[in-house]
Amino acid sequence: MAECDLKGLKCPLPALKTRKRLKSLVSGAVLRVETTDPLAGIDIPHLCQQDGHQLLSSERTANGHVFMIQKGSMAGT
């Protein structure tokens, strides 16, 4: 499983960096994303829907969110 620590970054950087990281992964790979930006709770699920990835889980933490995303097979490379 790949990990992406985006704590401390503000919108739109968490979504942009998540998209870039997903592009570097093979289809079906799982990416764990950790962020402190409150807007990531909206932006990351929207990115998954828009780009064809599956949001496996979205969990609020004391300081932000943790997302588990599986790269879609039809998602752009």
How far is Cα 49 from Cα 70, in angstroms, rounded to an integer?
Answer: 12
* 4 catalytic residue (yes or no): no
How far is Cα 30 from Cα 44, in angstroms, rounded to an integer?
Answer: 14
Q: Which among 11, 25, 29, 39 is annotated as catalytic?
A: 11
How far is Cα 30 from Cα 37, in angstroms, rounded to an integer?
Answer: 21
- Name the residues annotated as catalytic: 11
